[in-house]
Amino acid sequence: MMNGGGGGGQKKRAPRIEPFRHRVETDPKFFDKSWRKLHDAIREIYNHNASGLSFEELYRTAYNMVLNKFAPQLYEKLTENMKEHLEDMRTCIDAAQGGLFLEELQRKWNDHNKALTMIRDILMYMDRTYIPTNKKTPVFDHGLELWRDTIVRSPTIQGRLSDTLLELIHSERTGEVINRGLMRTTTKMLMDLGLSVYQDDFERPFLEVSASFYSGESQQFIECCACGEYLKQAERRLSEESERVSQYLDVKTHEKITAVVVNEMLANHMQRLILMENSGLVNMLVEDRYEDLTRMYTLFNHVPDGLTTIRSVMASHIKDTGKSLVTDPERLKDPVDFVQRLLNMKDKYDNIINVSFSNDKSFLNALNSSFEHFINLNNRSPEFISLFVDDKLRKGVKEANEEDLETVLDKVMMLFRYLQEKDLFEKYYKQHLAKRLLSGRAASDDSERSMLVKLKTECGYQFTSKLEGMFTDLKTSEDTTQGFYASTSSELLADAPTISVQILTTGSWPTQTCNTCNLPPEIVSVSEKFRAYYLGTHNGRRLTWQTNMGHADIKATFGNGSKHELNVSTYQMCVLMLFNSSDVLTYREIEQSTAIPAADLKRCLQSLALVKGKQVLRKEPMSRDIADDDSFFVNDKFTSKLFKVKIGTVAAQKETDPEKLETRQRVEEDRKPQIEAAIVRIMKSRRVLDHNSIMMEVTKQLQPRFMPNPVVIKKRIESLIEREFLERDKTDRKMYRYLA
């Protein structure tokens, strides 16, 4: 039926459309009839009887209604009708008992969805025309809203639904098995109804209930569990909740429930857990419980400040353990053992951080600063570390293969980095190196050089240049000695003992005051020839024999016929050679002949006469102390399994207290010019600088070598003012000015 509006065509003889000549009347019952059709159809649909319906007819009916401008009424009627059906459904759902409640709900929900789909299709035309124009909710969504309001949010159902779901979850948490499929469809239904429905009607109460559940559980567990056990439980619960979400909750809930568990089980008890006696972090560290530590790290990663807390507890523990190690007087008796323990401790924590703390950089930094803190609590650490290296280099590849030695030395370098007084270490290293080199007991040139390279890489060229000079000296000395023998005629040297000379450049080697000593004439003769040779080629230099540093190999024939080669110090050689011309000598006589200072001479005699198995001389009386009139004889009963016998040890010992004091004083003295040089350098470039800045700059510049004492810096500044390198500013007494 078309209502024509005739627009008259301009063309002639065009067909004209004319209105009907009779009155067209619309059927007053049109709406009711049409609606009745739809109403009944909907009823059938809800009764699972849709198969008998003609989609086309229903669609057309709806279409016509809309065309005839009955859309608003249609919409209204639809709403009413759906509500009725839903109310019926509600009754059924209410009637369902216990476990069947959810099932019934689900069933009805499915029905409603199916119905809605069909209804929407039927009313498609209205959906496309009336609804957008009038900003009404589309049919399907409208149907969902009605479901929400009539069913889900009905007073009888709303609470019941929420409670049922939460009860089921609770049962599952306490170990029972529940129908997860049903849970899934129910939560999905809520999601379909809109995120806010899901959140308000389910998620929020869920999170609240979970919080109190976990709060209770955590209280219970923490009273009776050790930390490790507790963490296992927490971990278990976390993965359980994760699974729950993936199985039947919306994915957005995951983050929130995790936060709840973390908060209740971990954050709220963090301090108590980490610091738990006998099972907390400290205990885990001590016992290397990697698994527990890894778990703790992973879990507390979720907690704000969790890792910070772990890190600081670890750091204090390391500092405490370290401190007791370095201040324990027992430990200080054996320097090599002392350092070994430090290395072991470092290894231990390196491993823990690597395995359990995923090599977290901030933890490594904490480890480093803790070590730095306690290593410097003992001011003998530099000396001990040098002794450790000395020990390892002496034993060299005899004890450990080259690779192992390298690894150990690298680890020692780590400890070296922690030292604040690196210049003190340098002094000791020099002393020990000198002894090693001169006694010929450095095991491997390669290892020595490798160590030097490590130090150079760490501290720069200046640190090692003198040490390298020592090596060069020895090499050059070898060449010089060879040159001496090559150029000096053999007649001159016929009966003379063979000498090997090491020429030490003063300044590269540790300074030693050399004392008097009368060398045996044979030695004097050849050594003077050497001196003449050397000065011949090196004009202007001065050679001084260091009799306290040399050693000699003597062939000895004893009264009982045994022949041995004795390896002794120079002093010992001087003493022994005296016995070539006398059978017996008193201490006084020996002292007079050799002119060796008393303390050294006594030590030397003791090592010749009183050491079991090495008694080359006999002493009367046998007492330990040496009096002026005590007599010494060659021990004709001397025996040894070895042909070559080594007398007396030249290995580096840890210093006696007076020696320690002296070394420290020397180091302090050496620091003064370094501080001054730094001050001058800084002032030269800055010209004018205030007091605090200068203190900071100087400390910064010198830190790689040592920590300068502020009082000393001040004194140096004043000294420089006195010597007119600097002056105070006339108006501001806190500013210093460089005087060119």
Partner 1 sequence: MAITGASEKAALQALKASDWHLEGAFDVFYSQPQIAVANTLHLEEVYNRYKEPDADMIMVEGISQLCNDLQVDPQDIVMLVISWHMKASTMCEFTRQEFIGGLQSIGVDSIEKLREKLPSLRAELKDDQKFREIYNFAFAWAREKGQKSLALETAIGMWRLLFAERNWPLIDYWCQFLQVRHNKAISRDTWAQLLEFVKTIDPQLTNYDEEDAWPYLIDEFVDYLKENGLVQHRR
* Residue 722 is a binding residue for partner 1 (CB under 8 A): yes
In the complex with partner 1, the residue whose CB is nearer, 408 or 721, is 721
CB of 733 to partner 1, least distance (A): 6
Strands 584-586 and 551-557: unpaired
Residue type, 91: T
Contact stretch for partner 1 (CB under 8 A) within 100-108, 209-217, 240-248, 721-729: 721-729
Instruction: Return the number of the residue (317 or 728) whose C-beta is nearest partner 1.
Output: 728
Cβ distance to partner 1 smaller for residue 331 or 691: 691
How many other CB atoms are found less than 10 A from the CB of residue 248?
22
Nearer to partner 1, 333 or 734 (CB): 734
Cβ atoms of 221 and 230 closer than 8 Å:
yes
Q: Cβ of residue 664: shortest distance to partner 1, in angstroms?
A: 21
Instruction: For 185, list phi and psi in degrees, rounded to 5.
Output: -65, -35
- How far apart (Å, rounded) are the C-alpha atoms in residues 126 and 54? 18
State which residue, 48 or 715, has the beta carbon closest to partner 1: 715
CB of 336 to partner 1, least distance (A): 41
Q: How far is the CB of 732 from partner 1 (least distance, A)?
A: 9
The three-state secondary structure class of 633 is strand
Task: Tell whether residue 721 is a contact of partner 1 (CB under 8 A).
Answer: yes
Expressed in angstroms, the distance from the first to the final Cα of the chain is 114
- Report the nearest approach of partner 1 to the CB of residue 709 (Å): 11
Give the interface segment with partner 1, choosing from 2-10, 468-476, 530-538, 713-721 (CB under 8 A).
Answer: 713-721
Helices 30-46 + 55-67 axis angle, to 10:
140
Candidate segments 359-367, 442-450, 604-612, 727-735, binder of partner 1 by CB under 8 A: 727-735
Q: Min. distance of Cβ 708 from partner 1 in angstroms?
A: 14
CB-facing half-sphere around the CA of 85: CA atoms within 13 A? 25
Which secondary structure element, helix H or strand E, spans residue 280, and what is its range? none
Identify which of residues 147 and 736 has a Cβ nearer to partner 1 in the complex: 736
Q: Which of residues 677-706 bind partner 1 (CB under 8 A)?
A: 690-692
Q: Which CB, 410 or 690, lies closer to partner 1?
A: 690
**x-marked contacts with partner 1 along 635-674 as a string, rule CB under 8 A:** ----------------------------------------
Closest approach of partner 1 to the CB of residue 714, in Å: 5
Name the minimum Å distance from CB 332 to partner 1: 32
CA gap 579, 581 in Å, rounded:
5
Which residue, 395 or 734, is less far from partner 1 as judged by CB? 734
CA-to-CA separations, 648 to 262, 610, 721, in angstroms, rounded: 68, 11, 53
Q: What's the closest the beta carbon of residue 540 comes to partner 1, in angstroms?
A: 36
- 3-state percent breakdown (helix, strand, coil) of the chain, nearest 5: 65, 5, 30
Alpha-carbon distance 353 to 345, whole Å? Answer: 12
Which CB atom, from 641 or from 733, has the smaller least distance to partner 1?
Answer: 733
Q: Which residues contact 589 (CB under 8 A, 6 or more apart)?
A: 582
- The least distance separating partner 1 from the CB of residue 698, rounded to whole angstroms, comes to 13
Number of other residues whose CB lies within 10 A of the CB of residue 185? 17
User: CB-hemisphere CA count at 13 Å for 653?
Assistant: 7
Residue 617 identity (one-letter amino acid): L
When asked if residue 711 is in the footprint of partner 1 (CB under 8 A), the reply is: yes
718 binds partner 1 (CB under 8 A): yes
Q: Is 48 in contact with 111 (CB distance < 8 Å)?
A: yes
Identify the bridge partners of residue 557 per DSSP, sorted by sequence position.
Answer: 563
Nearer to partner 1, 146 or 717 (CB): 717
Give the interface segment with partner 1, choosing from 6-14, 196-204, 348-356, 720-728 (CB under 8 A): 720-728
Written as one string, the DSSP assignment of 319-362 is HHHHHHHHH-TTGGG-HHHHHHHHHHHHHHHHHHHHHTSTT-HH
Beta carbons of 216 and 268 less than 8 angstroms apart: no
Give the C-alpha separation, 296 to 266, whole Å.
Answer: 10
Nearer CB in complex with partner 1: 238/720: 720
Residue closer to partner 1 by CB (options 343, 735) is 735
Using DSSP bridges, classify how beta strands 688-690 and 631-634 pair: parallel, antiparallel or unpaired. Answer: unpaired
Q: How far is the CB of 711 from partner 1 (least distance, A)?
A: 6
In the complex with partner 1, the residue whose CB is nearer, 33 or 700, is: 700
Task: Tell me the two tokens of residue 86.
Answer: 């839903």
Q: Interface residues for partner 1 in 427-486 (CB under 8 A)?
A: none
Using CB under 8 A, pick the residue from 43, 252, 272, 734 that binds partner 1: 734
Closest separation in Å from C-beta 726 to partner 1: 10
Q: Count other C-beta atoms under 10 Å from residue 311's C-beta.
A: 19
Contacts with partner 1 by CB under 8 A: the residue count is: 13
Say which residues have a Cβ less than 8 Å from residue 303's Cβ, sequence separation at least 6. Answer: 262, 266, 267, 270
The whole-angstrom separation of Cα 336 and Cα 76 is 96
Nearer to partner 1, 646 or 728 (CB): 728
Spatial CA neighbour of 704 closest among 446, 483, 423: 423
Candidates 299-307, 385-393, 395-403, 729-737 — which segment interacts with partner 1 by CB under 8 A? 729-737
- Note whether 273 and 223 are within 8 A (CB): no
Minimum gap (Å) between residue 259 Cβ and partner 1: 47
Binding residues for partner 1 restricted to 152-211, rule: CB under 8 A: none
Nearest residue to 605 (alpha-carbon basis) of 573, 581, 582, 636? 573
Binding residues (CB under 8 A) for partner 1: these are 690-692, 711, 714-715, 718, 721-722, 728, 733-734, 736
